[in-house]
Structure 1
Amino acid sequence: MDNKEILNIKSLVENIFKHIENGTIIKELVPDEPEDYSHVYSLACDYYDKGLIEQAEKIFHSLCLYDFSNTDYLLGLAAVKQVQKQYQKAINLYVMAINLDDTNASAYLYSGQCSLFMGDTGTATNRFKHVLTLNCESQDKEQAEYYLSLLENKNG
């Protein structure tokens, strides 16, 4: 991690806590000229990929506080919750991402996985079937078909 990434993270967290402590509205968190936090997001993804889940969670959480309308930030935090086996929290975050972008196959696929892990096969089946209706990567459709076949074999 280089000094610029560290400064970006510190700046983001300080800005968030300053506004929370002052009681100002969330709109105040968004600067007139939006800052580019792609390096911070990349760092969080890197931590996630390396299994440093707690560090990734802190960064994704801060990014979500900064911009809750960014589906990438929501999906990152949801993925952390899913790995932590906090399936309902993950589902809630995936649903928020779906509300922002109802064409995001990943959000449906991963929320379906969480539903399956929680034993809600009906919701899981609906999520996986919905992925098949979307214009998405073939890999997403293949995964959805795989889960649907597992569910069909389990029920059949």
Structure 2
Amino acid sequence: MVTHWKSLWTSTHDDALSTGKTVFDRLVGADPHAGAVFDYYVTFDQEDTSVAGKARWGELPTAAPIDSDDGQDLLERGWEATKEEFERNLERVKEAIDELSDEKIMRDEDLARHAFRKVGAYDGPTIFLYTEHGTGIRHRGQLDRLLEESEELWIVPADVHF
């Protein structure tokens, strides 16, 4: 299984990590009213793991203001990862449409339908940034609106497993 880190936003320093853990709890299905998107997560304040979090990604801040150097680095990394995953999957979709018959696409040859699903994903492994409400940030306009509408934003990284 592959893991990668995800980030989300919160509005105040005091509740950044707490809000982050609440959102990640929901994304792993700890909330009975939410479906699991990931199997589990590890935040960067956890020291008791040898395969996730700091052990996998090195030292990352537990939470960082978006306008700090650490926050900007996490934001850029998260957005670039989301964009690269989208572009990679979109290219697979375009190739499938150009090269495969409808029947082959229907049978999911070359995992074409899988790539279609990833391009349309609202959350999960192809989305690397989340809001404080657990909503995946899917496009740059959504990210820019969030950045413009909030004065104090914090980013909370977590290593997720899916």
> TM-score w.r.t. structure 2 length?
0.25
Structure number with higher strand proportion: 2
> TM-score w.r.t. structure 1 length?
0.25
Which of 1 and 2 has higher RCO (CA within 8 Å, sep 6+)?
A: 2
Structure number with higher helix proportion: 1
